[in-house]
């Protein structure tokens, strides 16, 4: 069975879990009550919005510094926001394709240069998330924690070995990008990039922290950073707009591991996801005003890349 099919089946399984949880625990009155609690505490709304916004600002600055371009910060920030918006509009996770096309257009990059930078930033994001997830599993003393760490280390070693393969060294384009990667990441700039990404994912956990505080779940910041990392990493199984289903299932499961009962974990998951949807559409509208991007143009980029993959 191919990796693609494994991911699809995993996504379907997570969606099925979400449907089961919704059938069992969703209560309209409870949902409206939780929403009212959120509205009545604007200080927490402001906290969540600010933390989430800063997390994207740090990711944008890390991306800008990695490209080595002297382009405006706003290009990278709006590129990430467009990616977020598209991923919340379409069932397939193609936001990064739009993000690539946007950088190509606004910064006069080649498609290869833009795609390479987006790919590297995504890989670094996953590296940080996996480190948080692995460290959290060990810290929480969960079953198979050391097996998880061993898998991560094995993957890192395998990746390093692949970079040394003779066939890789014979491909000029890959060597060019690897040279840029090493020159950037082994410098002070690389330290800033990794620090910015690490802090950005902590800030993103601020959304779950705010929701848990409003609902009185009494969870500390460290466990919630772990829960957020597990949830975002689970979005690789994205098959619905905004990852509906996969987000709720992974976050509910993570909160359950932390000792929250199923109904409360589910309630926190759908409330935090609702906030992220509102943020994506609100900031997406802002980006459309500041740096307009036509839907037809975005659709062309998506269609071209999907055709190329086929």
Q: What is the mean pLDDT of residues 188-212?
A: 94
Q: pLDDT band for position 207 (50/70/90)? A: very high
Q: Pick from 103, 95, 101: which is nearest to 76 by CA?
A: 103
Q: Which two tokens stand for residue 184?
A: 């950037």
Least confident span in 4-8, 30-34, 150-154, 279-283: 150-154
Q: Regarding predicted confidence, which is higher, 91 or 25?
A: 25
Which pLDDT score, from 0 to 100, does residue 168 have?
A: 45
- Residue 195 predicted with pLDDT over 50: yes
Dihedral over Cα of 105, 111, 114, 118: its sign = positive
CA gap 261, 244 in Å, rounded: 21
Rg (CA), the chain: 20
- Residue 221 predicted with pLDDT over 50: yes
Q: Pick from 126, 92, 98, 121: which is nearest to 111 by CA?
A: 98
Cα–Cα distances in angstroms (integers) from residue 264 to residues 24, 34, 259, 276, 278, in the given order: 12, 10, 10, 18, 21
pLDDT digits (tens, 9 = 90+) for 258-277: 889 889 999 999 999 999 99
Q: Which two tokens stand for residue 181?
A: 């990667």
**For residues 59-83, b (16+ Cβ closer than 10 Å) or e, as one string?**
bbbbbbbbbebeeeeebbbbbbbbb
Contact 104, 297 (CB under 8 A): no
Does residue 260 sit in helix, strand or coil? coil
Dihedral over Cα of 259, 135, 158, 194: its sign = positive
Q: pLDDT band for position 280 (50/70/90)? A: very high
CA gap 35, 47 in Å, rounded: 16
Average pLDDT, the chain: 83
Q: Pick from 160, 256, 274, 244: which is nearest to 217 by CA?
A: 256
| Residues 6 or more apart whose Cβ sits within 8 Å of residue 61 | 73, 76, 196
């Amino acid at each position: 069975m191919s990796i693609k099919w494994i991911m699809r089946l995993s996504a379907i399984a997570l969606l099925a879990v979400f449907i089961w949880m919704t059938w069992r625990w969703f209560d309209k009155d409870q949902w409206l009550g939780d929403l009212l609690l959120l509205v009545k505490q604007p200080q927490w709304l402001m906290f969540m919005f600010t933390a989430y916004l800063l997390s994207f600002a740090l990711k944008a600055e890390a991306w800008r510094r990695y490209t080595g371009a002297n382009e405006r910060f706003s290009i990278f920030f709006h590129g990430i926001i467009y990616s977020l918006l598209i991923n919340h509009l379409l069932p397939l996770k193609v936001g990064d394709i739009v993000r690539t096309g946007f950088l190509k257009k606004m910064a006069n990059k080649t498609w290869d240069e833009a795609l390479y930078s987006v790919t590297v930033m995504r890989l670094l994001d996953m590296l940080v998330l996996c480190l948080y997830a692995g460290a959290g599993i060990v810290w929480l003393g969960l079953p198979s924690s050391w097996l998880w760490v061993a898998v991560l280390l094995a993957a890192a070693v395998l990746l390093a070995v692949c970079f040394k393969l003779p066939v890789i060294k014979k491909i000029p384009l890959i060597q060019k990008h690897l040279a840029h990667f090493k020159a950037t990441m082994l410098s002070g700039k690389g330290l800033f990039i990794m620090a910015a990404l690490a802090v950005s994912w902590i800030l993103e956990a601020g959304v779950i922290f705010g929701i848990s505080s409003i609902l009185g779940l009494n969870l500390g910041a460290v466990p919630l950073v772990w829960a957020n990392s597990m949830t975002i990493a689970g979005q690789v199984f994205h098959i619905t707009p905004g990852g509906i289903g996969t987000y709720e299932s992974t976050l509910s499961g993570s909160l359950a591991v932390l000792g929250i009962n199923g109904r409360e974990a589910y309630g926190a998951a759908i409330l935090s996801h609702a906030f992220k949807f509102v943020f994506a559409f609100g900031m997406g509208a802002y980006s459309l005003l500041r740096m307009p991007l036509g839907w037809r143009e975005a659709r062309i980029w998506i269609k071209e890349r999907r055709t190329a993959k086929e």
